[in-house]
Structure formats: C-alpha cells, structure tokens
Amino acid sequence: MTNITVSTSELSRSYGARTAVHDISFELRQGEVLGLLGPNGAGKTTTLQMLAGCLAPGAGRIEICGIDLLERPREAKALLGFLPETPPLYRDLTVDEYLRFAARLHRVPKADIPAALERTKQRCGLADTGKRLIGSLSKGFQQRVGIAQAIVHNPRVVILDEPTVGLDPIQIREIRSLIRELGGKYSVILSTHILPEVESVCDRIQIMDRGQLVFSGDFAELKQAHPEQASLEEVFIHLTQQEEQA
Amino acid sequence: MIFTIAAKELKTLFASPLAWIILAVLECLLAWFFLGQIDAFLTVQPQLAALANPPGVTELIVTPLFGIAAMIMLMVVPPLSMRLIAEERRNQTMALLLSAPVSITEIILGKFLGLMAFLALFIGLTALMSFSLYSGAMLDLELLAGNILGLVLLAASFAALGLFISSLTSHPIIAAIGTLGAFLGLWVVDISARDPDSLLHYLSLLKHFESFNRGVIATADAAYFILFTVLFLVLAVRRLDRDRL
C-alpha cells in the first residue's frame, strides 16, 4: 500500500462543452517511470495539470501517497514536483535565487536549503550557473532549471510535461539519463509524443487518445496485447487510428 | 509562506530598473515641491507672526507635501501592480505557485505585501523629508503621524485594487491602464456630485484621504480604506481561484 505513490480514479475534465479527459484511472508505484503517450490534443497536459493541482478535476479522485489532493492539497502538493510544458521561470532572478525561492515555496526548512540547492544543481548539471540570470541561459539550461525546480524539495512524485521539447540531441540524452536516475528514487510521470523517448526511459506506458486511456501496462504486456505489431510505433498508430475509424 | 512570496516580489521589483527609476523620479519631484513650499513659508512667515493663532510649519509644508504624495501614488501604483499576476499568466509561471503547497490566499497576500513594502519605502522617504524640518522648526508630530497613516491606508487600497485588476487579464499594460482609470474615477467621482452627503461623495477616495490630510483620524475614513482593501483582496483571491476551475 505504501509504495503506491499516485492513484487516480475516474478522472474527468471538460472545457465548456469539449471533454478533454474522460474517466482516467491508474496507479503508479514508487521507483517507476510512467510514460504518458498520445497524439497532440489527447489530454496529456490536462491530465498532468490535474495531478499537479494546477487544474481542478471535473470529477474523480487523485491521491498522492494516500493523501487526497483535493481535500488536503497542502500536504499532497508538498510531495509533488511539477515541470509544466513551459518551464515556470522568472527571468530576472539568478538560478540560485530562483531555486531558493522554489525550495522555500515547497517548505524546505531554511537550514536545509543550501544543501538542497547544491545537491539539485549537481544532479541537473547546473553547478557553474548558480550566479547567472535565468533569462541569459540557453533553452537547454533553462529546461534543466525547470527540472531542478521540480526536484529541489525531494518530492516523492515528479511530473514532467514534455521535458525534452526543443532541446538538441545531446541535451535530450542528458535529460533522459537524468530522468532515468530520478526514476530510481522517485516516481516519475512524463508526457511526450516522442516514441523512442518512452522506449528508452519508461518502465510503463499509457497511451491516451482523445481524452481516454487506450492502453496501460509495461512493454511485455504491450507485446502480448498486440502481437501483430512489431514496434511501439506501430502499436501507437494502430491504437490511435483505430479510434478514428470507429 | 506569505513572506517568501512578498520577498520574491520585492526582489524582482528591484531587479528591474523600473523600481529604482520610479523612486528616483518621485524623490526629485517631491523634493522640488518641498523646497517650493519652504520658500513660500519663509516669505509669508513675517505676516504669520502677526496673527493671533497662526498655522504652523506642519500645516503649511507637510500637509501639502502629503497631498502631492497621494496624487503621485495614484500614478505610481498602476505600473507596479500591473505585473503582479498578469505577467505571471503571460509568462506561464503561475504553475510554480499553483503546484506548490501554498493556498491562493497566501499567494495574493504575498503579492500584496510585496507591493506594500515598496510603497512603504516611498512613504517612508516622504516622511523622512518632512521630518528633516524637525531640526529647525516645531513639528506637529501628531499631524505628521495622521498623514503617514492616511497615506499607508490609501496605498493599501490602491495596491489591492491594482492587484485585483491585474488578476483579470494576462496583459500587464491592460492591467495598468485599467487600474489608472479606476483610480482616477474613484478620485474625481465627487466632482460631479454637488450634495456632500451623496453616495458618490462617500465613494470618493479623495474625500476620505482629505480628512487624514487635515489631521482628522476618523473611524469611518479608516474603515472605508480597510473595507476597500479587503474587498479587492477577496475578489482577487476568488478570481485567481477560478483559473483552476
């Protein structure tokens, strides 16, 4: 029981008349990396925003380490780290000032902040950029600051929304190995529409299409469920286009 | 948590040249006006000495100085308050605050206090300028204190309204212009209303500030500013909360 870090049941959300997410239930265990896959507009970002508490669900429940996110948001959110699609960076602050602010916001005790900052910068490859203004950093470094912000308070669950978008191949590789490393300690949920990324970092995959989960399981289960498809790409196309024909 | 957010707001304000330029320009304007008042006082001083119960230096210099400071406040708050929420929306940085274990009320109060700290600096500088008269004249300290209190309450009302208008939009400039319009409206609303007991008169910020300016600290005036501040802070909390729904 204790090693289930995220559990959602019958999560739904609509914008006006349009349903963005419909009836999503899943569980995530400690140390797992879950890849949320889907074409554009499938509802990945909406799902992640609901998990992070930035968006109130229309219906359903979310529990983070057994704490209800809607009833006890303060305690649940303290266990979460979130990197949205656009990293929420204040360009006028330096990396150190920004991370210190993020740590304070997440209630890291004052005495522990210098150590937390040092550790996080080390992990994210930001050791030499502490004094630089965020606005003057390259896109790849800004993305790293975004990830650093999400893990500075040692959360149990890390939620990353398209963490490798707009990076060069070397940066993508570095970020992926960072995600794998994070997966060893925390639970990680990441959304992407880059299939090789999922194959290289995720333990489990969930495929979403038009607001609904069309597949959920690990790679072995995926092979078992769809023996006629040779690769993840084919399964993905099969699952998301099948819906279209139906 | 509130103070963490307030400290960050103050830091970002001073990280940009805007805050420094505003403080510098205001000090220049106020100092010029202050010296002008002193000059005027010195010219009329011989005649004042002949009067039985002459107005003191506080009435003739400090009161007009605070009157001008209030007018300046009206123009200074919009460019400062516009960014508070609108810019976070525009840069999509709101997610950091929303996903952190802080409540919407804490976010709004933090931002409000951050802006108030800056305005308090401005008020403090104005008060210091008046206080410099203490070296050479008898200063009515109670009148000065009344003026400071009035200006603080006025600043709080302005900051709360500015914060609320900033929470309505994702364009800082629209927030600034909307805020300035609302301030001016509240300032001059009593001009058209002839009857001094009318509702419009009662809504006027100018009227409520004037009594503090004269040294009258009335509960009704203080209550007006406090209610005004609380109302717009609550509205801002509600507005921001609606973003999540």
The ipTM estimated for the assembled molecules is: 0.86
Average pLDDT, chain B: 89
Vertex A189, ends A184 and A190: CA angle to 5°? 110
* pLDDT tens column, B77-124: 999 999 899 999 999 899 999 999 999 999 999 999 999 999 999 999
> Is the per-residue pLDDT at A1 higher than 70?
no
Give the pLDDT confidence score for residue B198 in this predicted structure: 75
Give the pLDDT confidence score for residue B101 in this predicted structure: 92
AA identity, residue A87: P
For residues B54 and B210, the model is more confident at: B210
A107 and B1 in contact by Cβ < 8 A? yes
| Closest alpha carbon to A103 in A85, A127, A121, A76 | A121
AA identity, residue B32: W
Sign of dihedral through CA atoms A184, A190, A196, A199? positive
User: Would you state the structure tokens that stand for residue B153, as one six-digit string?
Assistant: 């309450």
Per CB-CB distance under 8 Å, the chain B contacts of A88 are: 91-96
Give the pLDDT confidence score for residue A230 in this predicted structure: 75
Q: Identify from B92, B99, B241 which residue to disrupt to test chain A contact, counting A C-beta atoms within 10 A and taking the largest count.
A: B99
For chain B, state the CA radius of gyration: 20
Cα–Cα distance, A179 to A197 (Å, whole number): 11
Winning range, highest mean pLDDT, from A48-62, A182-196, B229-243: B229-243
CB pairs under 8 A between A and B: 74
Domains of chain A: 4-79+157-245 (3.40.50.300), 88-154 (no CATH)
A107 and B101 in contact by Cβ < 8 A? yes
Q: Which of B16, B95, B101 is facing A78, going by the closest CB pair?
A: B101
User: Would you state the structure tokens that stand for residue A70, as one six-digit string?
Assistant: 């809607």
- Strands (E) located in A16-58: 18-29, 33-37
Q: Is B18 on the interface with A (CB under 8 A)?
A: no
AA identity, residue A44: K
Cα–Cα distance, A39 to A161 (Å, whole number): 14
User: Strand A204-209 vs strand A187-192: parallel, antiparallel, or unpaired?
Assistant: unpaired
Per CB-CB distance under 8 Å, the chain A contacts of B90 are: none
> Is the per-residue pLDDT at B170 higher than 70?
yes
User: Domain residues for B103?
Assistant: 2-244
Q: Is A105 on the interface with B (CB under 8 A)?
A: yes
B16 and A91 in contact by Cβ < 8 A? no
Enclosing H/E stretch for A214: strand A212-218
- At B186, the pLDDT band (50, 70, 90 cuts) reads confident
Domain count, chain B: 1
